[in-house]
Every structure is written in C-alpha cells, then in structure tokens.
A and B are shown apart, each in its own frame.
Chain A
Amino acid sequence: MADTIRVAGDTLPGADMNASLLEVDGLRVDFTVRRKRIPAVRGASFTLDQGTTLAIVGESGSGKSVTSQAIMGILDSPPGHITGGEVRLRGVDLLQQDEETKRTVRANHIAMVFQDALSALNPLWSVGFQIGELYRVHRGTSRKDAKQKAIELLDLVGIPDAKNRIGHYPHQFSGGMRQRVMIAMALALDPEVLIADEPTTALDVTVQAQIMRLLKKIQQERNMGLILITHDLGVVADVADDVAVMYAGEIVEQASIHDTFARPAHPYTKALLRAIPRVDTVGRELEVIRGLPPNPASLPSGCPFHPRCWAVEPKKCSSEVPPFEPVADDHRSRCHFAKEVYRDER
C-alpha cells in the first residue's frame, strides 16, 4: 500500500520534497495554571527523516507528550499555548497554517497512536465506523467503500477475522487488539509521519513486543517517519534509529540509538540506562535515580538536573545553564561535563 497514488489536494501546498520530513525547531509550549505561566517545553529541536524512527525518552512531566501534541496541533488550549518555534513538514511551518490546512495535515500527513486505546476510542461507535470515518470525512468515500477499506486495514495490522470484527465495539477487544485498531486508524490515510505516544505502556509485556514489531514493520514497509514517545529506553532499543532524551522540557541528549546505549554523554541518560534490567547485571541491585522530576513551575537554577545528578560540581552546575553541544558526530548533550561523561565507560 506504500505506493498508493495520492489523491489530488492531499499534498501540502508549498511542500519541498527535498526538505527534511519533519523538523521541530525551538518549540516552546507554556501552560497557564491559575494565571501563572508554566513552561512545559522549553525550546525542543529535532529532525525526523523519512524512513527513520526517533525515540523521545523521558519521565512523566518531561514534556514529551506535550511536544507530540503540539506537533499534531491538538494541544488543549487553554491551558496550553505554543509560544515559539517552528514545526516544519517538508519545509512548511505547520504552526503558521490556517485551521483548515492544519486539519487536513492531521491524519493525512501526521497521524497519532495514543497510549490508552480504551479511552482514546469512542466507546459508543464500532471500530469500523471510527476507522471508516476518516475516509468519509477526508476523502468523501461512501459508507460501503469506507467499510471495505477499514476491513483491509484491520487485516493489515493483524486482527484475525477482520470482516466480522469490524462491527465490534472497542470494549469487545483485548488490550493488544485495541492498540492494533488504533494503529490501523492512524494508518488509514497513509500518513508520512506517525507519532506513537507510549503505545505499549498499558499493555502486557508479551503484547508490548508484538505491537513494537508491528509498528516497526509498518514503518519500514511504508517508509514512514516514526516518532516513538516512551519513558522506557529498553522498549525502544530494537526499534529506534535515533534517541532524544527529554528532561524538564528540554532535550538533554540526542544521538543514534547505538551511541546512546554505548556511550551516553549526559548523566541523566546514563542513570536511565542503569535503571534498565539487563542480563549482565543479574544479582545486582538496580539503580534508581534519586529524587523526583523537578516541578516545572519552579525549576532549579543552572542545570535543571543538578539536584539529582551524581556527577555534580556544585558551584558551576547550580549557577550556569549548560549549553547543548556536540561531543561527537551527531551526538549532542546538555551538560557541563558532557565530554567527561562521554569518555567515561559506563
């Protein structure tokens, strides 16, 4: 289906096919809570190329979900506001587009898979209706054809007996099957970018692996750009090409998956890696990261990670904000001691 011919009017006006698939540049998002502005994303930048997978990793509250919602243009506003930056799809800044264009970009170009499929699907409509809805609204397809397409999609994502399952309601599916329905829905209009926000968090471990494999397979078949948002580095290890680690609304380290695992250049990434259970650490106690993620309303001075950092140099880290600098080719870190951490074997 990757070579489906695109319907006229579906392509983005002004799109430059030579530009990167998706570029996020200095994205800033604030939340207004009780008349106070609280920064949730403080200048996130990354690039997603066609046919690659980027994992955005971070604890809850680090701003990773907000980033993805801002890209999709589905941020709840109020309280959220995009206060700066650009989101460029093939060179076109989506934030500057009118509401109608933004609406067509969703699902047609960028689609999203949510964490909890049970609440993300409308409980009162059959899954067939909810998938078919996309064709009927965006393509003007007839009810019957839309149903046929929905069946094909359910088949594609590996739901057995798709023909009969099409009339079933979300609560009649198991967790894993429901997540497949979500994926099918996201794929309906053949988007170039797929954002999966914690797609496996609500699932059993065995099902997690199946869903990840399915996402990877579809991403490769369709040559899509895939953004995987997760708090668990272990889950994305086999799937992602690049990793961006977020902390307190900033990207603190960005590198290829291999480099991230082999030679992390930020103490936070290193701590995250140590918290993954591994075969060679059996018998040893797993490490935990001290303390709690910072409150975005009152971030620590200097490097926001310094109160929890194990490699802290009190004076410098608590007063100066570290720059986001390369430690190697395509490997950048936001730490005063990035080079030392990088050199240090893990």
Chain B
Amino acid sequence: MSELAVPKPEPEAKQASLWKDAFHTMRRRPDVIIALVILLFVFAMAAFPALFTDKSPTRCIGREARQRPDTWFRGEHPLGTDAFGCDFAATIVHGTRPTIVLALTVIVLAVLIGLVLGMLAGYYGGWLDAVISRMLDVFIVVPLLLGAILLLSLFRGRGSSGNVIETVAPAAIALTIFGWMEFCRYVRAATIETKNLDYVVAARCLGAKDRRIMFRHILPNAIIPVTAVVPTTIGAIIVTESALAVLGIGVQPPATSWGVLLSNGTQWAGGGYIYLFGLPLLLLVLTVFAFATFGDALRDALDPKLR
C-alpha cells in the first residue's frame, strides 16, 4: 500500500504558503496599492516631519492668524495659519506623530494582551478559561469609547508638564484596556481549534513541551485571524482618539493629534475657515479609509473562501 502513503504536508509549509498566497493576491489589487501609498505617506510624516515642513508648529505670530490657504500650496504658509497664527501645515504634520504613535502603541499592547490571554484560556481550559472568558464578557459590555471615557474622566490629571508619558499615555492606556477583547476572542477560538488538530496532538504525544507547542504550532495559526483585523482596528483607534479629543479628554496639550486639531477646527468651520476643520478631517478619513481597505483586502486574502 506504499503508493497510498502520500507525504503529509508540513503544517509550517502550509502556513508559509498561506502568507505567500495572501501577499500575491494583495499585490495585484489596485485598491491595496493606493491604500499602501497613503499609509506610507502618513507614516513618513510621523517619522520625518522635517521632510514635509520647515516650520515649527510652536512658532506662532499673532498678527498672521487665520490666513486662508489661498496661495495654492505655495508661499509662506501653504495651508494657511490657524487661530493663533501658527503655520497650519506644520501643525498638521507634527500632529501626525502623536496620532500614529498612540494608535500603534494601543494596537501592539492590545494584540499582546489578547494573544497571551487567548492562548492561555484556549490551551489550558478549565478554571483559567472560565476566568478569562468571564473577563471577556465583562469588558465586551463596555464599548471602547465609553470605557475610555470612563477611565479618562475618573483619573483625569490636573494639567501636564508636556512629556509624552503625560500627554499621550493616559489615552493609550484607556484605549488598550478596552481594546484587547476582540483579539482575545479570536485567539482563544483559534487555539481551541488548533489544539485538537492531529499534528498538535501528535506533537504532544511525542512529549513536546507546552511552551513549544504553543509557539511552534498554535501561535502561527492564532496569529492569522488577529492579523486580519489589525489594520481595521488601527483605524478604529484613530477614530476613537479623535472622539476623545472632541470631548477634551484625548491627547492633552501641548501635544496635538489630528483629533485635537479637528476639535479646535470645529469652532471655525462655520465661520468661513473651513480648512481648519476640513484638512485634518480629510487626512484622518483618508488614513482610516486606507487602513480599512488594506484590512478588508487582508481579511479576504487570509480567508479566501468567500472572496
């Protein structure tokens, strides 16, 4: 019966080809390319603001306040100036970094928490699973924005000295605490499924240690559904931060984020200074749209069943 003994495909090889296939599918989609270009632009602004503007957002001249950007992207202030006479282009560019740093910090922390708790719950089951699942239930009852509102208003500081820890960290922590549940749920489900697959059971029978099984076999599987929702979630975090900013409890001054700019811009939007509201809005929507499009394509590529 030797002919029937078809070599069993290695799980690791299967994983590699899934990612490779996903990469190939994504590369051929024009919407993904556009989304990537937008994201690259935004990340470049966050990393190297000096490339995009030579002005400082803190150098403000009162008598130059509220110059409309009528110069068509040329001249002293390509995007005009804001209510205090600061160069608006510089303000937007320098507002990118806190926005992106906050979003990336939250997503990394939330994914880590989700992965660890989800794998523990799914792999060991029993009381650990019961506790973690109950925690999931409890946290899921509080929507991300409301949870962040709760924490930030309960533990609001009294002014800040201006370093990153005090301006960005509270919002980041609050969003993380109410942002890990989705990842945890996915990881837990994927872990339970993978745990009972034949090759994992076989590995356990051969005496592989728990930690090795988790990292070698379960993690590669659990990471797939998580990856698929990461870009969309980053978009959601950026949006939630801007909502917090409008409420005045997001990123604190002197740091600015897009949300802070939007919230400042609303009071001028009706009075003919629409660019103060419209430009940050455009940037935020483009970025979130790029993340969402990329995420949607990624999800399709990683789950090709219903393309």
Which A positions have Cβ atoms within 8 angstroms of B? 285-286, 288, 290-291
The 7 A-B residue pairs with the shortest CB-CB distance, nearest first, are: A288-B3, A290-B3, A288-B4, A288-B1, A285-B1, A291-B3, A286-B1
Q: How close is A283's CB to chain B, nearest CB, in angstroms?
A: 15
Q: How close is B58's CB to chain A, nearest CB, in angstroms?
A: 57
Q: Roughly how many angstroms separate A290 CA and B1 CA in the complex, as a whole number? A: 10
| Residue of A286, A288, A290, A291 with most partner-chain B CB within 10 A | A288
What 0/1 pattern do residues 97 to 111 of B give for CB contact below 8 A with A?
000000000000000
Q: Roughly how many angstroms separate A302 CA and B237 CA in the complex, as a whole number? A: 62
**B2-18 residues at the A interface, CB under 8 angstroms:** 3-4
Which B residues are in CB contact (< 8 Å) with A286? 1
Which B residues are in CB contact (< 8 Å) with A285? 1
Which A residues are in CB contact (< 8 Å) with B3? 288, 290-291
Q: Roughly how many angstroms separate A290 CA and B3 CA in the complex, as a whole number? A: 7
Number of A-B contacts defined by CB within 8 Å: 7
7 A-B pairs with CB atoms under 8 Å apart are A285-B1, A286-B1, A288-B1, A288-B3, A288-B4, A290-B3, A291-B3
**B67-110 residues at the A interface, CB under 8 angstroms:** none
Q: Roughly how many angstroms separate A285 CA and B4 CA in the complex, as a whole number? A: 13
Which B residues are in CB contact (< 8 Å) with A291? 3
Which A residues are in CB contact (< 8 Å) with B1? 285-286, 288
Q: Which residue of A has the minimal Cβ distance to B1?
A: A288
Which B residues are in CB contact (< 8 Å) with A288? 1, 3-4
Q: How close is B264's CB to chain A, nearest CB, in angstroms?
A: 53
Q: How close is A221's CB to chain B, nearest CB, in angstroms?
A: 41
Q: How close is A286's CB to chain B, nearest CB, in angstroms?
A: 8
Q: How close is A252's CB to chain B, nearest CB, in angstroms?
A: 21
Q: How close is B161's CB to chain A, nearest CB, in angstroms?
A: 61
Q: Which residue of B has the minimal Cβ distance to A291?
A: B3
Q: Roughly how many angstroms separate A290 CA and B6 CA in the complex, as a whole number? A: 12
Q: Which residue of B has the minimal Cβ distance to A288?
A: B3
Q: Which residue of A has the minimal Cβ distance to B6?
A: A292
What 0/1 pattern do residues 44 to 74 of B give for CB contact below 8 A with A?
0000000000000000000000000000000
Q: Roughly how many angstroms separate A288 CA and B2 CA in the complex, as a whole number? A: 9
Q: Roughly how many angstroms separate A46 CA and B3 CA in the complex, as a whole number? A: 33
Q: Which residue of A has the minimal Cβ distance to B4?
A: A288
Q: How close is A52's CB to chain B, nearest CB, in angstroms?
A: 35
Q: How close is A285's CB to chain B, nearest CB, in angstroms?
A: 7
Which B residues are in CB contact (< 8 Å) with A290? 3
Which A residues are in CB contact (< 8 Å) with B4? 288
Q: Roughly how many angstroms separate A285 CA and B3 CA in the complex, as a whole number? A: 13
**B258-293 residues at the A interface, CB under 8 angstroms:** none
Q: Roughly how many angstroms separate A285 CA and B2 CA in the complex, as a whole number? A: 12
Q: Roughly how many angstroms separate A217 CA and B4 CA in the complex, as a whole number? A: 37
**B210-259 residues at the A interface, CB under 8 angstroms:** none
Q: Roughly how many angstroms separate A288 CA and B3 CA in the complex, as a whole number? A: 8
Q: How close is B245's CB to chain A, nearest CB, in angstroms?
A: 46
Q: Roughly how many angstroms separate A291 CA and B4 CA in the complex, as a whole number? A: 9
**B104-145 residues at the A interface, CB under 8 angstroms:** none
Q: How close is B8's CB to chain A, nearest CB, in angstroms?
A: 16
Q: Which residue of B has the minimal Cβ distance to A290?
A: B3
Q: How close is B49's CB to chain A, nearest CB, in angstroms?
A: 46
Q: How close is B137's CB to chain A, nearest CB, in angstroms?
A: 27
Q: How close is A276's CB to chain B, nearest CB, in angstroms?
A: 15
Q: How close is B299's CB to chain A, nearest CB, in angstroms?
A: 22
Q: How close is A153's CB to chain B, nearest CB, in angstroms?
A: 36
Q: How close is B291's CB to chain A, nearest CB, in angstroms?
A: 30
Q: How close is B183's CB to chain A, nearest CB, in angstroms?
A: 30
Q: Which residue of B has the minimal Cβ distance to A289?
A: B3
Q: How close is A177's CB to chain B, nearest CB, in angstroms?
A: 28
Q: Which residue of A has the minimal Cβ distance to B2?
A: A288
Q: Roughly how many angstroms separate A291 CA and B2 CA in the complex, as a whole number? A: 11
Q: How close is A230's CB to chain B, nearest CB, in angstroms?
A: 20
Q: Roughly how many angstroms separate A275 CA and B218 CA in the complex, as a whole number? A: 39
Q: Roughly how many angstroms separate A292 CA and B3 CA in the complex, as a whole number? A: 10
Q: How close is B305's CB to chain A, nearest CB, in angstroms?
A: 15
Q: Roughly how many angstroms separate A175 CA and B4 CA in the complex, as a whole number? A: 28
Q: Which residue of B has the minimal Cβ distance to A286?
A: B1
Q: How close is B230's CB to chain A, nearest CB, in angstroms?
A: 30
Q: How close is A223's CB to chain B, nearest CB, in angstroms?
A: 42
Q: Which residue of B has the minimal Cβ distance to A292?
A: B6
Q: How close is B21's CB to chain A, nearest CB, in angstroms?
A: 14
Q: Which residue of B has the minimal Cβ distance to A285?
A: B1
Q: How close is B24's CB to chain A, nearest CB, in angstroms?
A: 14
Q: Roughly how many angstroms separate A290 CA and B4 CA in the complex, as a whole number? A: 9
Q: Roughly how many angstroms separate A291 CA and B3 CA in the complex, as a whole number? A: 7
Q: Roughly how many angstroms separate A286 CA and B3 CA in the complex, as a whole number? A: 12
Q: Roughly how many angstroms separate A237 CA and B1 CA in the complex, as a whole number? A: 25
Q: Roughly how many angstroms separate A301 CA and B30 CA in the complex, as a whole number? A: 40
Q: How close is B19's CB to chain A, nearest CB, in angstroms?
A: 21
Q: Roughly how many angstroms separate A291 CA and B1 CA in the complex, as a whole number? A: 12
What 0/1 pattern do residues 192 to 226 of B give for CB contact below 8 A with A?
00000000000000000000000000000000000
Q: Roughly how many angstroms separate A216 CA and B292 CA in the complex, as a whole number? A: 58
Q: How close is B4's CB to chain A, nearest CB, in angstroms?
A: 6
Q: How close is A179's CB to chain B, nearest CB, in angstroms?
A: 27
Q: Roughly how many angstroms separate A288 CA and B1 CA in the complex, as a whole number? A: 7
Q: Roughly how many angstroms separate A132 CA and B1 CA in the complex, as a whole number? A: 48
